[in-house]
Amino acid sequence: MILLVDLCYRDGSLAREEFVLPIARIVESVGERCRIVHFTRSPGSAARDCKGIILCGTPIMDNGFMDDPSLFSWVPGSGLPVLGICAGMEILTFLAGGTIISCPGIGMTGVRVTASDQLIPGIRMFEAYELHDNACTLPPGYIALAESERCIQMFRDPDRPVYGVMFHPEVGNEWVVARFLTGYCRPSR
């Protein structure tokens, strides 16, 4: 089971169709089940029997998830692999001591891979869709994996499988989510 945390402004919003359900379809396409929980509905308790967490993106200018960052204090202690998408990357940045900065971006952008990682092996460049008001500085100790001309597009925690991506992989880069799931969220054997 993979926990998808809906970060949209209200539980059951229309934005869920655009930013959460496409991620659910990717999860299901690799043979996993998912549980969707809105960030205001105690997702930490829903993570107990899960193998991974995906903090889903939001529409542009939908930043209510940052009104109370303590709602995400459970994430680092979960011990689970985490993929933060756009707004989810902002949460990971905040939790790890980085800074959120204004940096609007809409549309396709060229992404240059800056460090080798199993999530993006053998890839040097790719195109990605971005839709954001903000960008993230690199949290202390984290590794920048990819960037565009304007901002960091992907980072990871140096010690555990915690990734942030500023672009929206559900739009043309589904392979990022699939590799995260198949590389980090499979049961131990």
Contact 181, 52 (CB under 8 A): yes
Look up 18 and say whether it is catalytic.
no
Task: Respond yes or no: is residue 103 known to be catalytic.
Answer: no
Active site residue 132: no
Contacts 24+ apart (CB under 8 A), 171-175: 171/22, 171/128, 171/129, 172/127, 172/128, 172/129, 173/126, 173/128, 173/129, 174/26, 174/29
Residue of 18, 90, 168, 185 marked catalytic: 168
Which residue in the list 50, 56, 86, 185 is annotated as catalytic? 86
The answer for 151, left when phi > 0, alpha when psi is -120 to 50, beta otherwise, is beta
User: Which among 38, 132, 170, 185 is annotated as catalytic?
Assistant: 170
Q: Which residues are catalytic?
A: 86, 168, 170
